[in-house]
Structure 1
Amino acid sequence: MFRVLNIARVTPVFVFPLMEDRNKYDGDNLNRKPKKEINTGYDRLKEMYTRNEYLEASVELYNVVQATFTGAFIGACMGGFVRSREAYLYFIENNQATIFTSTMEAKKKLQDYVTVAFAKGATYWGWRLALFTGIFSLVSTTISVYRGETSVIEYTVAGAITGGLYRANLGLAATCVGAGLGGVLSSFGGLAIVLLLKITGVTMEDIRRALHTIKEAREDQFNQAVEKAATIKNDDLTIQHDLLVQEKGEKKIEDI
């Protein structure tokens, strides 16, 4: 039986008090059993990388995956648009004297050239930004979960590791430069995030769980739509059977 959507689950249940800590997040919104008391960083990491009883990934890993796909989408759009614009200008500049049989053929050649360039740019930047974002998000989230808090440290370390790996193919010197630059830039970004969290009184755990709640609400809506569209479930015989069950109640096989 599909779960009935509760309107309260659609909207994140946290507020933004200024310069105050918010109340603890209500774990019941995830429709899961209360978590056992976790005292060590190892226990928190074990829970992060362990599936629950429904074989679902943890809230932290779900957000890492979402960040990776978001990076891939942004990278594909950015690379595709830039490459297609360059291809358009290059085609116009280098085919001024080209003889085409018709205007339609010229437009088709231009469209094909721009489309191929868009695909190449999207592929070139999509997987790179996805890999960069995925490693950064995974490292920073892992450190944050292990420490049990959010600070600038995890962003600095994640930026240094990601920057070093991104330039590792260019040699040791490029790796060190990439790690240093990534660490510095990530420190500024982490500092801005930490300050914003302090001002609003919200933690990263609150944001992760709110996003997970929205995801579950979206799944509930989808399940309800599938349930309503099921012709077998909503035929006359099944409806009559459900009414009889409601009137007389359910019986276990052992009691029959």
Structure 2
Amino acid sequence: MYFLKSLARRTPQGAPLIFSIGLFSKEEDKAGSNFDIVDREKELQEIKLKYEQRSDISWTERLSLMWRIDEYGALSPELNQCIFSTYISAVCGGIVGSYVETQRIMKVFLERNKYEMFKHPREAQAAVRDKWILTAYKGFFRYGSRMAILTGTYMCVSQSLTAIRNYVNPLDHAVGGMMMGAVYRFNMGPKGMLAAGVLGGIIGLQAGCIWWVIQWATGETVEERWRREYFQYRLNVELKEATQKLEDERQKLIEEGGQAKSEPYVEEEDSLDFVHGYILLARKWLVDAGILSSPITLKEDNGAIVTNPKL
């Protein structure tokens, strides 16, 4: 306690602002800033070559391939498997926790209020509803966070050891299980951590054997699977970039030198020319017949004015 108080007194005044900036900054901006380099294609080619020749590189390079983030903020195939397993376990644990806690609180509520709940049924229903919702949220967070921590610890440790070895070994999963058990009983001290670590190592060893059998049945090695997943991800990224480039009209304007192509103007033909011709012919016939007078006046050579000339 004294150490925490002294640490709080020594903390500079600008520390809260710095920590707040770090908390509210976007991960995409961080990932993008690391890849704002000219030789981006060179970096991608090096990563591709490492996945193609994974067995020829060192264990540190294989581990760095796992713990990395690309230019779009996406994780590697190895680390993505850990995150996906953690999410699934958190959701499943949260659902189980909500069910267990709500069933327990319902039994307690019925035992405490079984003689008074029928006197005011509406108030009893409202009270149990609020209690049920609050308990469901608490159970989901409690069990879900616990399962996420345990599964994340197990998957990260075992997956890192698998990346170092470049093949599945049940002992790696046993080590991951030991770490999981030690984290689970961290509040019980060294003895509790040791006992839980031994039990977790036994469970992890069994899980590692099952995982090894599944990989043997599929006939695909660790290197082949992660290479396939990486190439599939890069193919999806390239297709997305190509689609976005086609849909971006500004890119077309840049490629054309900043000038849009102007379509040639085609004058439309007047569709009423034939009607106008028939009207002129009819008017000429009426003027010749003397029914209409011509508005045109012509002057002869002798000075006489003809108001109805023969057209």
**TM exceeds 0.5?**
yes
Task: Give the aligned residue type for 2:136.
Answer: F
Per the alignment, in what secondary structure is the counterpart of residue 168 of structure 2?
Answer: coil
Q: Which residue of 1 aligns with 2:60?
A: 42
Aligned partner of 1:179 among 183, 197, 205:
197
Q: Which has the higher contact order (CA 8 A, sep 6+)?
A: 1
Amino acid at match of 2:96: M
Count of residues in correspondence between the two structures: 205
Supply the distance in 2 between the matched residues of 1:145 and 1:139 (Cα, whole angstroms). 10
Contact 1:160 1:182 in 2 (8 A): yes
Q: Which has the larger radius of gyration?
A: 2
Within-5 A mapping of 1:101-250: 102-204=120-222, 250=255
Letter of the 1:64 partner, please give it: C
Counterpart Cα distance in 2 of 1:178 and 1:146: 26
Measure, in 2, the Cα distance between the counterparts of 1:52 and 1:183.
Answer: 33
Shift of 1:165: 2.1
Cα distance, 1:183 vs structure 2? 0.3
8 A contact 1:155–1:187 mirrored in 2: yes
SS of 1:156 mapped into structure 2:
helix
CA distance in 1, matches of 2:111, 2:226: 49
Shift of 1:41: 0.7
In structure 2, distance between residues paired with 1:89 and 1:215: 50
Distance 1:52-1:123 versus aligned 2 partners, 3 A rule: closer
- Contact in 2 for aligned 1:63/1:208 (Cα 8 Å): no
Q: Does 1:66 align with 2:84?
A: yes
Which amino acid in 2 is paired with 1:106? A
Distance 1:99 1:195 in 2: 56
> Under a length normalisation based on structure 2, what TM-score does the superposition of the two structures give?
0.57
2:153 partner amino acid: I
Per the alignment, in what secondary structure is the counterpart of residue 35 of structure 1? helix
Cα root mean square deviation, aligned: 3.4
| Equivalent-residue separation in structure 2 for 1:111 and 1:212 (angstroms) | 48
Q: What do the CA deviations read for 1:17-54 (whole angstroms, capped 9, x no partner)?
A: xxxxxxxxxxxxxxx75323342111101222233344
Preserved contact between residue 76 and residue 230 of structure 2 (Cα < 8 Å): no
SS in 1 for 2:49: coil
The alpha-carbon deviation at position 213 of structure 1 amounts to: 8.0
1:131-170 CA distance string (max 9 Å, x none)? 0000111000100001111110110010011111221220
Report the equivalent of 2:112.
94
Distance 1:45-1:90 versus aligned 2 partners, 3 A rule: same
Distance 1:214 1:117, change over 3 A: farther
Structure 1 residues 104 and 197: alpha-carbon distance in aligned structure 2, compared to 1, 3 A threshold = same
Q: Distance in 1 between matches of 2:121 and 2:233?
A: 49
2:166–2:222: 8 Å Cα contact kept in structure 1? no
Q: Per-residue displacement from partner, 1:88-146 (whole Å, max 9, x unpaired)? A: 12212221112566433221111111111111111211111100000111000100001
Task: Please list every run of 5 or more consecutive structure 1 residues that lacks an aligned counterpart in the other structure.
Answer: 1-31, 228-232
Cα separation, 2, equivalents of 1:108 and 1:206: 57
Structure 2: runs of 5 or more not aligned? 1-43, 259-311
Partner of 2:69: 51
Report the Cα distance in structure 2 between the residues aligned to 1:209 and 1:126, rounded to whole angstroms: 32
Is this contact kept in 1: 2:86–2:152, CA < 8 A? yes
Q: Aligned letter for 2:188?
A: L
- Percent identity, aligned pairs only, is 24
Q: Partner of 1:26 in structure 2?
A: none
Greater alpha carbon shift after TM alignment, 96-105 vs 71-80: 96-105
Task: Tell me how far apart the structure 1 counterparts of residues 236 and 143 of structure 2 sit (CA, whole Å).
Answer: 30
| Paired letter, 1:143 | L
Call closer, same or farther: CA 1:75–1:209 in 2, change over 3 Å.
farther
